Structure 1
Amino acid sequence: MRMLMPKRKDSKKKRNADNRSRVWATDCMTILDGITDLVVCIAKDGKILSINKAVEKILGYKKGEVLGENVFKLDILEKKAIPTLLSLLRGVEKRGRIKRVVDPKTNSMELTLNRKNGSMVHVEANTKIIKRNGKVEGFLSVLRDITDRKKLQEAIKESEEKFRQLVENIDDIIYSTDKNGVLTYISPRVEKVLGYRPEEIIGQPYTKFLANEDLQCIEGKFQKVIEGVLEPSEYRLISKSGKIHWVKTSSRPIYKGKEPIGLYGVLTDITKEREIYEGVIREKKVWEATFDLITDPIMISDKNRRVVRVNSAFARRLNKKFNEIIGRNCYEILFKGKKKCEECLLHPRSSVVTNITIVENLVFPGIYLVSTYVAEIENQKTVVHYFRDITQEKMAERMLRGLNWKIINVQEEERKRIAQELHDELSQTLTMLKLETSWLQTKLTGLDAETRKRLHSIIQTTDGLIDKVKNICFRLRPSTLEEVGLINALEKTVEDFTVVSGIKCQVLTRSEIENIDSQIATVAYRIISEALTNVVRHAFAREVVISIERKNEKLRIEVIDNGIGIPDDLMRFTKCLGVYGMMERARSIGGEVTIRPGPICGTIVKIILPLK
């Protein structure tokens, strides 16, 4: 009995210890169930010995669904990760320590697990080996859900990649320096601009690549940027090949706390822009040097029509000094008697189209072709007036018109003479031939049928020739034009036109047309005849209307057809002598001819002739 008593006492102590262990284990599990991280105890064969409630939140399983299950047989681990983990377990059992982890200092590794609903969750696993009597019994792992962190890391990585691609592919150069001006970063674009690889520049002072002329200035500006004074700079850099490159930079200081530790900025290669700018400056100097050498007068005024600049030729024509012209209103200088600007003939009608005017009543003598246009000079909107002296050309033109009118009169007289000779000689001869042939036909008897047929054919042919001669005489010089006037001559012409062409034609008079000078009537008749000829040749029209009106001492005529419209070559007046002749006839008496497409189809020929 005395020997058994200690055993009962020891047994009781053991039972108490077991009870305390169970209570402690229960308390521990209660504590673990309140932890948001997943805590799991796994035997070395992969059996799950214990797990906290976080499994429901992280993996979607209830504790009872996974307790006692083999972790490798559950659809929790990624299939591609299972061989790695099995190898890891075998290595632990063999060596008694964990290898091949992400971070050896913390024994942590990242895993991707499958949730019960099929979605993925990223976890960070911190694992400890459980040993008993020096032997590995299993593992205790704490798994933390890092899905949001992984997404953030991936987003940061993607953002960094986009930023890297942006920096490496933009045309500008991104750079940073320390507060001493030593380059700490420069984007790969520098190789294309300056020929240096980034690693050849990083660690070098920026002054090493500056042109000597800009060194002192840029060093001062560098210190200002470090101090927080921000201003863009333009300076020259020397490339690896020795070529000068103009660049424009915009920089900002880099702070650590409140202390500036360097700066970062953007370099833009402006070499081409600089070359263009310098070229403009050179051109400006050339322009200023040659402005006064131009022999034609030039005047430049501002938006208020005050003269801001003239050349020497302008001052010479006015016989005034420059200070007597600059600052005055342009219309006061150009015209005798002060005019309002709005009444000025040289006032530009458009800001984009050059206004061209012929002026005779300027202060300086002569006739001038004045080109007026809006131009921006030195960032100011100005009006440029260019005066070209065309006095001699206008006099020659007037002489040419007078000569042309004389030629037209000579042509008309020659037409009249030829028409008269055709009528008096050829027409009478043909009439006599017809009479003689008719006499033979009546006097000769006993002729066979073929001979009589031939005599009859000669008489008919003679009649046709007589009619043709009459038509030729009429076209050369319409007798009715002098006898009965323009309208009756046109009606006869229109009647013949309709018969020959098959095109319906009519003459509309909108006012009394009488007592028109024969020269004016002849010009009008010839132009209308040419217009009708063009209708037959080009228009493919079915109807033509000739409208005639006398208004404001001018004869206004319109020839309107409903054809296919005027071809481009006729519109440009470069390929049709007939159209050119129409215009020249009108100009010879101070008139004009314009040709334009009709509102829907066809063509309108508008003729304006002065009656005085």
Structure 2
Amino acid sequence: MGTQNYTNIDFSFERISDAFISFDNDWNYVYANKHALNFHNKNLEDLIGKCIWDLYPGLIGGEFNTTLLNAKETQASHSIEIYDTINEKWYHNTIYPSSEGVSVYYNDITHKKKSEFELKKMLDKLHSHLNNTPLAVMEFDSDLNIIQWSKKAEEMFGWDSEEAMQLQFGMNQIIHKDDIFDFYGTLGNVSSVGSLHKSINIKCNTKQNAIIYCEWYISFINLEDNSSVMLALVDNITERKLVEFELINAESKFRGLVEQSMVGVFIRKEEKFIYVNPRFAEIFGYTQNEMCTEMTVFEIFSESDTHKFKTQLADYSSKKIFKHHYEFKGVQKNGQYIYLEVFGNTAIYNNEEVTIGSIIDITVRKKSVEKLKISRDALKLSNEKFELVAKATNDAIWDWDIKTDTLTGNDVFCGLFDVPPNTAISFSDFLNRVDENERETLVANFNYAVKNKISLLTEEFTFKQNNGKYKLIKDRAFVLYDKNQQEYRVLGAMQDITEVKEASQKITAEKDLSDNIINSMPGTFYLFNAAGKYKRWNKNYEDITGYTTEEILNQTALDLLVPEDVEMVKDKIAELFVTKKQTSLEATFIVKSGEKLRYFLTGRYIKYENEDCIIGVGIDTSEKKLAEDKLKKSEKNYRDLASNLEKIRENERTHMAREIHDELGQQLTGLKMDISWINKKVKSDDIAVQERMKDTIALIDKTVVTVRRLATQLRPSILDDLGLISAMEWQSQEFEKRNEIKSTFKANVAHVAVSTNIATGVFRIYQECLTNVSRHSKATQVNSELIIENNLLTLNIVDNGIGFNHSEIRSKKTLGLLGMKERALLINGTYKIIGNSGKGTSIKICIPLETSIIN
């Protein structure tokens, strides 16, 4: 490779922001860009030609070493994230093998990983907060089908999660028939007024056909795809209802307060609210803006609880207590007191430490007697169970005690093996459910992990269900070792990935099909993003441009264009990203060999991998362009020849007209004079001779008139003597004399100074038009008008004749029309004829003028 090519490679890799290194097949460094040298804190001569494993023996046997070897062996690209314990940084490595060695791109992703850890921390805290909610949590899709069913809901209604999700018209079975219309009416009211939250007290059914009273806190959440889900927090208020029935006098007020209750949400930073939801503001009688901009937190506390709250906040801060749960006496904007219960967590929001929590109006609960307090305490006791169960997933969680050979698991796990909950099985029972062709591999992999003290295992295998059918399972397991490094216990989770696997295979098949279709296209196919970077292309693109995959990845959509086409294509691309409408253009490319190719290109806006992109195809029009240029050149040569022939013909006509008028006219006049002289000298009494002499003289007079007419028809002298306007006026008058057709001509100027070619061409076209009128139109009148405006000569000729049929005209050899069109083209003009049967004919000729007009 030449020095220039090395320079180009260095320039390319020095421009990229990633560190880049390249090894030969013996793992010796053959290239490293400046970012890689800075990362290793070495000079180029410290690396080039050195073996990586000699320089960094500590990497041998590690994840990076294993991945490099695997990439080289499989000749497939690999990606890996590695944590540098020395520099306390994370790096993302992309490995590209080839027949000549291995190349590695790597960049610093420490900030990204820290962001992921912070996000996980936030989600964990939010999840912990939700776990503190002493209510049943249920989620419904837009058709009110159950898609989420908490453990508390199982306890409250009797159906487990799987049963609940399989209920047909689940809402109709949960809500008691007496209250079903009220419930749907509430939902409809929420939709009609545009509210997102509502609460309602209704009777509900349990699996055991018992009736319980529940308070539903309903929230509607709009998703990104414009669909929505309904989230319901349900409190079993049966005991409270029984107390209410006993407290008849308070029943009406209690019911009204319960129906108005819902959960408020807030975010607090020190003494200020930075966010409150509409329900939170509604509880205290303020607007959201008032609470977030004009108030302090302490203004919602009664005087008796303000000091208590401040002390409690200081206690939370000093003892690093992150979960908050307390009750207080609050005061509304109108001065009324209410009682509230708060659940909160300390969290990071917009890089600041804040408290995120929810608040429930428990005024009615506080006013209830001891039975209601007992009911609330029972809910609080059950909260601990809810917190543990809420962490469970739909996966089959299992625990294998190796010493006793007992496998236990959650309800999902027991359901897979068709055994009652909390029933233990043996490892043999487990293996019997695995496809017999996969059992030996499964056991061998486990033995290998144990032998090498590997803790984390992931397996995929075929599992036989209770109905005899098979499903694909992904099993993640963690092996526990005692202090003697002896395995004693394995924990794991089994996940049904049958549908995921089938979908993945289907996607792969669809991609293969699309790739085959793209590569079968006769032209080029391309797809690039807003930065012009190629995302996809077909094999033809590589074959035609001569560039490799790696080279195309480092190019943009403008790189191969000839300089004069770059701005035009760039503007078209920018316009397409704005209008999102399909477009097309022609441009010239310079391929790797240096050859220039003309292409017709199409473009359409699409969304690809969450990026704004342009997709299109290109068709080689180089030969077509050459043919068009050749045709244009041929047409130009033809028109030049026709123009020259026309000039020769007009010159010959002028010469013949002068010869006929001057020579033949004079000779005829002389002949007449001679015959007249003879007639006077020869006195004959023969009447026949006298008559013949008179006839001869008359014939000579007619011949003189004919000669003058022929000379005028060949080249009217008036055209040369007085100009185009006068010649056309004369021609109009002559036409009317020779034909019984009234002819008018007018012009908006008295004289126009044009070239001889234009004057002759316009006059000949006018003559031919009038000839066609007399021969074919059967008209009684023809009106002509010549207009000169903005250096444009326009001639309009309209008759009132029978018109013509366009299809008949096209089928005939209309040499007159063709001649007029060609004459117009020879003087850079246009010719247009319009006619309909029975409605006359209109002809319009437009000629651009290059000389000034003299009026």
Q: TM-score, normalised by structure 1?
A: 0.42
For the pair shown, the structure with the greater C-alpha radius of gyration is 1
Q: TM-score, normalised by structure 2?
A: 0.31
